[in-house]
Amino acid sequence: MATQHSRSAARLMMAPAVILLLGWMLVPLTMTLYFSFKKYLPLRGGDLGWVGFENYVRFVSSSAFWPAVQATLVIVGGVLLITVVLGILLAMLLDQPMWGQGVVRILVIAPFFVMPTVSALVWKNMFMDPVNGLLAHLWRFFGAEPISWLSEASMTSIIMIVSWQWLPFATLILLTAIQSLDSEQLEAAEMDGASPLNRFWHIILPHLSRAITIVILIQTIFLLSIFAEIFVTTGGAFGTRTLTYLIFQRVLESQNVGLGSAGGVYAIILANIVAIFLMRIVGKNLDA
């Protein structure tokens, strides 16, 4: 792309894709913004005109708002913690030469291929069902009273389900990172008298910091908008109503498009705040 001519040709050819993507983003965004300033109740009179910032004020002052923000952050934080910690452990385990390595790796990655709706249903009915679930059987085997997971430990359950789904992703990224570690560095550390724990702490973990950053960034983006797992399990009850879920309820259950759109704009702002925050904390790892 050295000459003027080839540069403009390149721009021309990229234009359709850029315009399509831009439209894909801009149209919903503008529509959300548009509706957020309207009183729009599809089943109760339709478009009832402009209302200014009323929707925004109502969305925040609703008693459900702050608990929803909190639930969102707890789920994101909990899943990140579990997937990163277990992901590092699993990656180190899978990096060891062992019998049947190929099969084990595929098994570990498998959950990632299961659709969120399906995996949540499997967990709900197969594991967490208080009467017939495997966990209930396990509890009874040890003589304990089975827990009705989704109502008594709703948050823990959701975090467990989502972590199970995202663990393969974290493991995979961290495994490739571990495999790129120069084994001579570990040997040098061994000769320098570092114990296995010290080698992990001083050599492996710093080497993984970049991969961990990537895992955290990508997962956060996706986790902020988890929906299916909540929809098919608790339906937003028992304190598991996240911001995404709250918006869904406002739009579809209360049929208040304006209010939901205002919530959508808040969600965008929240996502950006989290993103800036993360970039600040961990982003410096990326350009090192």
Given the rule CB under 8 A, which residues bind another protein? 182, 184-185, 187-195, 198, 202-203, 206-207, 209, 288
Smallest separation (angstroms) from another protein to the CB of 105: 23
For another protein, the closer of residues 145 and 184 by Cβ is 184
For another protein, the closer of residues 2 and 191 by Cβ is 191
Smallest separation (angstroms) from another protein to the CB of 186: 9
For another protein, the closer of residues 54 and 95 by Cβ is 95
SS3 163: helix
From residue 86, how far is each of 54, 79, 93, 163, 257 by CA, in Å? 45, 10, 10, 10, 40
**Cβ atoms of 200 and 91 closer than 8 Å:** no
For another protein, the closer of residues 13 and 288 by Cβ is 288
Q: How far apart are the first and last CA of the chain?
A: 29
From residue 232, how far is each of 132, 165, 226 by CA, in Å? 18, 15, 12
Smallest separation (angstroms) from another protein to the CB of 190: 5
Quote the DSSP letter at residue 149: H
SS3 18: helix
DSSP E strand stretches across the chain: 38-41, 46-50
Residues in the chain: 288
Instruction: Report CA Rg, the chain.
Output: 24
Smallest separation (angstroms) from another protein to the CB of 192: 4
**Alpha carbons 73 and 270: distance in angstroms, whole number:** 10
For another protein, the closer of residues 16 and 193 by Cβ is 193
Residue 234 backbone phi and psi in degrees, to 5: -95, -15
Give me the residues paired with residue 38 across strands. 50
For another protein, the closer of residues 58 and 210 by Cβ is 210
Smallest separation (angstroms) from another protein to the CB of 96: 17
Smallest separation (angstroms) from another protein to the CB of 218: 22
For another protein, the closer of residues 143 and 193 by Cβ is 193
Smallest separation (angstroms) from another protein to the CB of 124: 43
- What count of other Cβ atoms lies within 10 Å of the Cβ of residue 282? 16
* Residue with the two structure tokens 């049929």: 255
